[in-house]
A = this chain, B = another copy of it.
Amino acid sequence: MTKLDRIDRRILAELQSDATISNLELAERVGLSPSPCSRRVRQLQERGLIDRTVTLLNRDKLDLTLTIYIQVHMANQLTKTLDNFELRVSEFDEVQECALVTGSDADYLLKVVMPDMAHYEKFLLKQLNQIDGVASIRTSFVLRQVLSRTELPLKHVN
């Protein structure tokens, strides 16, 4: 695992903000000719720094106007209970994030998107609450999404 130089970092920064640009354009922006530029991109993929490239869709246009953070407290911390919870939660494609966090013994933090309250109510009662080991649930509705970024900071690297 070798270090990233200045050019690698600039390539990553560009692709993080817009992956649709051509290799020619990218090469120009980072100050390289096309061939070494595409080679570097390939190497960054092979080295695992580039995970994947995806298109991000517009939530509102897809009728997903509600974003909700949910804190789930579990009744116990048995591996079987937690594994099962994580498996079940991963099957819901409204769940954008799920993390086991510090706080109590076993707390999950979920971020979900929904069309409206009716769907959310159903999700909470019929899906989340039905999972074994769920002790309590605390919901925070997003009033205003101030910031949502996929770009990671590169300044800490190397």
A interface with B by C-beta (< 8 Å): 12, 15-20, 47-59, 61-64, 67, 69, 86, 89-90, 93-103, 107-109, 113, 115, 119, 140-158
The answer, among B55, B63, B115, B140, for a CB contact under 8 Å with A50, is B55
Contact B157 A20 (CB under 8 A): no
Tell me the complex Cα distance, A93–B98, Å.
22
| Shortest distance from the beta carbon of A18 to any chain B beta carbon, whole Å | 7
Contact B63 A52 (CB under 8 A): no
Contact A99 B67 (CB under 8 A): yes
| Shortest distance from the beta carbon of A47 to any chain B beta carbon, whole Å | 7
A143-B100, A145-B99, A149-B96 in contact; A57/B49 too (CB < 8 A)? yes
